[in-house]
Amino acid sequence: MLIDLHTHSTASDGTDAPGQVVADAAAAGLDVVALTDHDTVAGWPDAAAAARANRIALVRGAELSAQAVFEAEGRERHVSVHILSYLHDPADAPLAQECERVRTARLDRARRMVDLLARDYPVDWDEIAAHTEPGATVGRPHLADALVRLGVVPDRSAAFETVLHAGSPYYVPHYAPRAVDTVRRVREAGGVPVFAHPAASVRGRTVPDDVIEELADAGLAGLEAHHRDHTPDQVDHLVGLAARLGLLVTGSSDYHGAGKPNRLAENTTAPEVLERIEDMGTLAVIRS
């Protein structure tokens, strides 16, 4: 039983349509796949239709942008984190409204980054919008693709290492709610909150264990320990921390189509963990 609980489509920053991601998941030999686009559930209907057509089970999810706020060395730190939400009610107003707020903030932020980039590169917002699925959650990957089309960089990864890096002069942050509030909102919407790639230092600063403990107190259900952005030592540490805090352990690919080297099923989640997630979530897993 192969279960991959973290993928992206053109509803956010993946390169394939939601139905294509699900079809490719079936072709990759997966029995269960979750679609977890950033801050949106727009891909769910297309993914559900493809799940039925391709005889693969679908977990409806999302990856929510948030920030952990904590004290370290006498200073208040704000670290960007991602909280996966599984099987929540998409009609829950507080959660849906917060996603909408983040998507709007991301759109505004992308336009501001394009304004800054346009001082040095011939990027054009209308050209980027034309290459973006209407209503999609916009992120730096969409700007990276524009830079690739212009020949400024060879691929998304190169863009993230240079002009789109969080330390670059073209970088602009965007609004995101506090992670403890996100965890509570997901629970109130009947969802199952799992901390995505909690130790992925390649993406920027990460949070100390006591922040994860606070999130667990707020209702966090699991840690995505098995992820390509973690070293073997980090995986061991997270598995131990999850055991200590009574959290589930998941593993996933974080597939983005052609936009990232991550391959479907490269990390997977145990069937008994999915059972627990399904027990906790308000929606059912779609099984054909």
Site residues for ligand AMP per CB under 6 A: 13, 139-141, 156-157, 160, 256, 259-260
**Under the criterion CB under 5 A, does residue 16 sit at the interface with Zn ion?**
no
Answer yes or no: are the C-beta atoms of 180 and 218 closer than 8 Å.
yes
Provide, rounded to whole angstroms, the least separation between the CB of residue 155 and ligand AMP.
8
Residues near Fe ion (CB under 5 A): 13, 82, 196
Answer yes or no: are the C-beta atoms of 5 and 273 closer than 8 Å.
no
Please count the residues of this chain forming the interface with Zn ion, following the rule CB under 5 A. Answer: 2
Tell me how far apart the alpha carbons of residues 104 and 101 are, in angstroms, rounded to a whole number.
5
Question: In a 10 Å sphere around its CB, with 0-12 CB exposed, 13-18 middle and 19+ buried, how is residue 258 labelled?
Answer: exposed
Closer to Fe ion by CB, 82 or 226: give it.
82
Provide, rounded to whole angstroms, the least separation between the CB of residue 197 and Fe ion.
6
Answer yes or no: are the C-beta atoms of 70 and 208 closer than 8 Å.
yes
Using CB distances below 5 to 8 A depending on partner kind, what does residue 140 bind out of Zn ion, ligand AMP, Fe ion, none? ligand AMP
Closest CA to 243 of 269, 225, 227, 229: 225
Q: Nearest residue to ligand AMP, using CB?
A: 139
Closer to ligand AMP by CB, 143 or 183: give it.
143
Closer to Zn ion by CB, 98 or 254: give it.
254
| Contact with Zn ion (CB under 5 A) among 13, 31, 98, 254 | 254
Helix-helix angle 93-117:140-149, to 10 degrees: 30
Provide, rounded to whole angstroms, the least separation between the CB of residue 85 and Zn ion.
12
